[in-house]
């Protein structure tokens, strides 16, 4: 398919692919957007790409902007500050590709893209978009709030302490009660940016201060010792047509699946389908669907798990806009069920198109 903005194609949709942003996960979003763009065009759709920080990308700039670029450190604060200066998320609704589209396909990561702001703008513009609505997006992105909802729904999740600007010392007893080592991460940042493991309270306090540079809210969480898994989900929150995808296992040296391990080739081993019993796979898939439903998510999500010392799974978090390169976890989870990457992207687009 050509790069003609709104080409012609039978049964095709006019899709504005919204990506980029000014968060530490910008490069991850752009890498995924390049592959989604090609997949949607293979599926016959008409696609125009918009970067929230630089506007519409013409065919000349698409290739350079969407070239695969993960595997190094996230953008620095100076670069992100420059991007934020020119980013106009509320202005998305005024852009010609957005006004002329049938729907928006979101390939964004971080607070603005996953946390409800872009979703709110598109709601006001009356444009259907892929993924969860603004409420589900905001809830899943706020990890502490999401975990409280999971607890209320009877879904197991590791014990945690949520700090909202406090010094770690003021909550020392609660943090220490989680046991060591423990995990520290910003509450509303994706791609495991800022995630650290702490072996004692001094290390935990330092990790909290480092995570606080990314988000005022910091989650301190019990680190479960068992294996790590992930399950994709397709469907909405109505209770009809919610489908779990394949179970994958993530194996990393030292057991820490942080930004570096996620995006540096050769560090993490991602095994699909996971070598687990049918009974454990069924439990993980049931919990993934229950999590998707409890948080009010729609279209698609990816739910991550870790086993405790007894081998029982707990939900770490749900991702409403998970990575979308062909080697990302959701597409690998879909491939286990026989769903190709172009078919996955097409199906996600058509789930959103039902709301036209």
Which residue is catalytic, options 25, 112, 114, 270? 25
Would you call 302 a catalytic residue per the annotation? yes
Which of the residues 323, 328, 333, 346 is marked catalytic? 323
Active-site residue, 304 included: yes
| Continuous segment of H or E residues that includes residue 347 | helix 341-353
Q: Is 191 a catalytic residue?
A: yes
Catalytic residue among 191, 314, 328, 333: 191
Please tell me which residue in 12, 22, 132, 319 is annotated as part of the active site. Answer: 319
Residue among 304, 306, 328, 346 flagged as catalytic: 304
Q: Which listed residue (115, 246, 263, 346) is catalytic? A: 263
Q: Clarify whether 323 is annotated catalytic.
A: yes
| Residue carrying structure tokens 């397709």 | 234
319 is catalytic: yes
- Residue 230 has phi, psi (to 5 degrees) of -145, 145
Task: Indicate which residue of 298, 302, 306, 314 is catalytic.
Answer: 302
The C-alpha atoms of residue 289 and residue 224 are separated, in whole angstroms, by 22
Which listed residue (112, 222, 236, 317) is catalytic? 317
Antiparallel, parallel or unpaired: β 46-51 and 55-57: antiparallel
Q: Are 265 and 327 in contact (CB under 8 A)?
A: no
Q: How far is CA 340 from CA 90, 286, 327, 330, 332, in A?
A: 34, 23, 12, 11, 9
Write the DSSP string, 200-255.
SHHHHHHHHHHHTTT-SEEEEEE---S-EEEEEEES-TTSSS-EEEEEEEEE-GGG
Cite the active site residues.
Answer: 25, 191, 263, 302, 304, 317, 319, 323
């Amino acid at each position: 398919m050509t790069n003609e903005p709104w080409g012609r194609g039978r049964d095709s949709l006019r899709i504005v692919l919204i990506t980029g942003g000014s968060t530490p996960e910008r490069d991850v979003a752009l890498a995924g957007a390049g592959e989604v763009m090609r997949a949607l065009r293979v599926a016959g759709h008409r696609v125009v790409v918009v970067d929230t920080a630089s506007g519409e990308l013409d065919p000349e700039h698409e290739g350079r902007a969407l070239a695969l670029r993960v595997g190094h450190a996230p953008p620095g604060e100076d670069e992100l500050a420059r991007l934020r200066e020119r980013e106009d998320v509320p202005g998305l609704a005024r852009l010609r590709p957005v006004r002329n589209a049938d729907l928006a396909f979101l390939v964004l990561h971080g607070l603005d893209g996953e946390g409800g702001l872009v979703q709110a703008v598109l709601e006001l513009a009356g444009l259907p978009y892929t993924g969860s609505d603004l409420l589900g997006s905001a809830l899943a992105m706020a990890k502490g709030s999401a975990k409280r909802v999971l607890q209320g729904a009877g879904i197991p999740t590791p014990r945690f302490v949520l700090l909202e600007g406090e010094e770690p010392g003021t909550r020392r007893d609660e943090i220490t009660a989680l046991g060591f080592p423990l995990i520290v991460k910003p509450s509303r940042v994706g791609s495991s940016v800022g995630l650290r493991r702490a072996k004692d309270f001094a290390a935990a306090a330092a990790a909290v201060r480092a995570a606080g540079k990314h988000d005022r809210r910091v989650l301190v969480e019990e680190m479960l010792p068992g294996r790590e898994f992930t399950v994709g989900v397709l469907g909405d929150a109505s209770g009809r047509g919610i489908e779990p995808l394949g179970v994958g296992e993530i194996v990393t040296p030292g057991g820490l699946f942080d930004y570096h391990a996620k995006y540096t080739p050769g560090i993490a081993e991602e095994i699909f389908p996971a070598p687990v019993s049918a009974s454990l796979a069924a439990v993980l898939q049931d919990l993934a669907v229950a999590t998707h439903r409890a948080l009010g998510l729609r279209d698609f999500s990816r739910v991550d798990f870790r086993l405790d010392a007894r081998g029982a799974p707990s939900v770490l978090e749900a991702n409403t806009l998970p990575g979308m390169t062909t080697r990302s976890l959701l597409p690998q989870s879909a491939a286990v069920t026989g769903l190709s990457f172009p078919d996955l992207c097409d199906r996600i687009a058509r789930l959103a198109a039902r709301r036209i």
